[in-house]
Amino acid sequence: MPDRTTGESWQQLEERIRSSSPHGSKPGWKLISVIVKSRDDLRQEQFAVQLITLFQQIFKKANLPVWLQPYQVLATSADAGLIQVVNDTVSLHGLKKKLSGGERGAKHTSLSSYFEQRCEPTRGVLARTRENFMLSLAAYSVVCYLLQIKDRHNGNILIDNAGHVVHIDYGFMLSNSPGNIGFEKAAFKLTREMVDVMGGEGGRLFEEFKNMCVMCYLEARKHAHQILMMVEITRAGQPDLPCFTSRTVLEEMQERFKLGLNRKAAASFFESLIHEACLLPYLLLLLVLLLLLLFLLFPCSFPPLTSGQAIDHWCTRQVGACRRFSAPPPSLLRFSSPPHPVLQTFFPLSFSGLQYDKFQWLTNGIMS
C-alpha cells in the first residue's frame, strides 16, 4: 500500500532517501520505520515475535511454502521500546472501512472483490495474490492456535501488497486474555470473507489451505520440545509477563500439540479445528435465533443479564411454560455436563446448580 501522504510505496521512499543520504552507498544501508513506545511493556511482544521467528525457521527447514512476517521488537526497559512498522500494509479495519464506502468512490463490497479489483489487469497476479493469502493464513492459523494468540480483531490483522496476512499486537497470548475472560472459543480467526477469498469451502484453494494447516501443525509437533523449552526458559527468567498468569501454561500448551496422538489422528484433530472455526459464527447465529424464538413464543421478557436471581426466576417461568405447552424431549434434559462455551458467551454468569439446570435444555439439543 502506498504511503497515505506521499503516494509512495516503501521501496520508492527507501530509494529516494538512499539517493540523498551520504551513507546510502555503504553496504548494509537500510531504512527501517519504527514506532517509539513509552509507558508500554514490550517484553511479551518481543517474546511472541521470537516464538514466531522460531516457527518460521521450522517451516522453512521443512520446505513448507507458507509465510510468516516476524517484525523486529526491542524492549529497552520494562515500560519502553521500539517496534518495527510493517510497511506496505493495510489493516482489515481500514480495508473494511473502504469496502463499506468510507472512501469516496469505493467499488469493493467484500474482501474477495477487493482482491479481484486490485488484480484486475492480469489473472496470474490475482491467482498469486490469493495463494499468498492462503499460505500466510495457514501458517498464522497454526501459530495462533498453539500460542493461543487472542484479541484478533480487524485492527490487529494486516494485508500487504502481495496479499499476505500479517498479525500484529501480541498483548494477549498463552494464558492471558482481554478482561481475563476466555470468550474466544474458535481455535483461530477464520471468517466467511477469508474462506470466500479461497474460493469457498468447496474450492481448491481452501482444500490446499486445510492441507497446509495440517502440514504446519504436524511439523510443529516434531519440534514441540524445542518450542516448549523456549517458553519454559522465558517463564523462568520473566515470570511476571502477563502470558504466564496461569501456573499450568506449559501443560496447556503441551496439550495443544497432542503429542499422544499418532500422525493421522493429529491431522484429523486439526482438520476438526478448521471445521469448528468455520461453523462457530453459524452456531452463534443459531443461538440468537433460538433465543429470539423463545422470546416470541412465550409471553415474558428476558431478564437483565447482570442479575443471576432474575435469570433463575426467568428460567423457572420458561421451564414451567414449556412443560405445560410441550415437555422438552428427554435428550435435551442433560444436566450433568458443564454449560456450553457459547452459552457462557451470551450469558456471562457463573452457571451452577439450579440456574444452569433450568437453562441447559434450551441449548443442549443444538449445541451437542
Answer yes or no: is 270 within a domain: yes
Indicate which CATH number applies to the domain containing 94.
Answer: 1.10.1070.11
Residues 264 and 321 occupy one common structural domain: no
Answer yes or no: is 31 within a domain: no
Helices (H), 119-203: 123-146, 192-197
pLDDT level of residue 156 (50, 70, 90 thresholds) = very high
Answer yes or no: is 7 within a domain: no
Answer yes or no: is 157 within a domain: yes
pLDDT number for residue 180? 59
In 3-state terms, what secondary structure has residue 34?
strand
How many Å apart are CA 281 and CA 201, to the nearest integer? 15
For the segment 77-98, the average pLDDT, to the nearest whole number, is 88
Percent of the chain clearing pLDDT 70 (strictly above): 70
pLDDT tens digits, 48-73: 999 999 999 999 999 999 999 999 99
Say whether pLDDT at 129 is over 90: yes
Residues 106 and 208 occupy one common structural domain: yes
Grid coordinates belonging to 244: 504466564
pLDDT tens digits, 281-337: 666 667 777 777 766 766 455 544 444 444 445 455 544 544 443 434 333 333 334
For the segment 348-364, the average pLDDT, to the nearest whole number, is 38
Answer yes or no: is 32 within a domain: no
- If one compares 170 and 295, the residue with the highest pLDDT of the two is 170
For the segment 89-94, the average pLDDT, to the nearest whole number, is 88
pLDDT number for residue 286? 72
pLDDT tens digits, 225-281: 999 999 999 999 999 999 999 899 999 999 999 999 999 999 999 999 998 888 766
Residues 318 and 204 occupy one common structural domain: no
Residues 217 and 335 occupy one common structural domain: no
For the segment 9-23, the average pLDDT, to the nearest whole number, is 81
- If one compares 233 and 119, the residue with the highest pLDDT of the two is 233
Residues 73 and 181 occupy one common structural domain: yes
- If one compares 161 and 227, the residue with the highest pLDDT of the two is 227
Residues 124 and 255 occupy one common structural domain: yes
Say whether pLDDT at 367 is over 50: no
Answer yes or no: is 208 within a domain: yes
- Ramachandran category for residue 64: left, alpha or beta (phi over 0 → left; psi -120 to 50 → alpha): beta
Minimal CA–CA distance to 209: which of 153, 130, 152?
A: 130
pLDDT level of residue 179 (50, 70, 90 thresholds) = low
CB 311 within 8 A of CB 359: yes
Q: How far is CA 63 from CA 59, 66, 216, in A?
A: 6, 9, 10
Q: Domain range holding 230?
A: 40-79+88-280
CB 302 within 8 A of CB 362: no
Residues 127 and 269 occupy one common structural domain: yes
**Whole-number average pLDDT of the chain:** 78
Minimal CA–CA distance to 86: which of 156, 6, 7, 186?
A: 156
Residues 253 and 110 occupy one common structural domain: yes
Residues 270 and 303 occupy one common structural domain: no
Residues 347 and 224 occupy one common structural domain: no
Residues 186 and 115 occupy one common structural domain: yes
Last residue within a domain, chosen from 247, 280, 313: 280
Residues 195 and 315 occupy one common structural domain: no
Answer yes or no: is 151 within a domain: yes
How many Å apart are CA 322 and CA 13, to the nearest integer? 68
Residue tagged 496461569 (cell numbers): 246
Provide the number of structural domains found in the chain. Answer: 2
pLDDT tens digits, 338-347: 444 444 444 4
Answer yes or no: is 290 within a domain: no
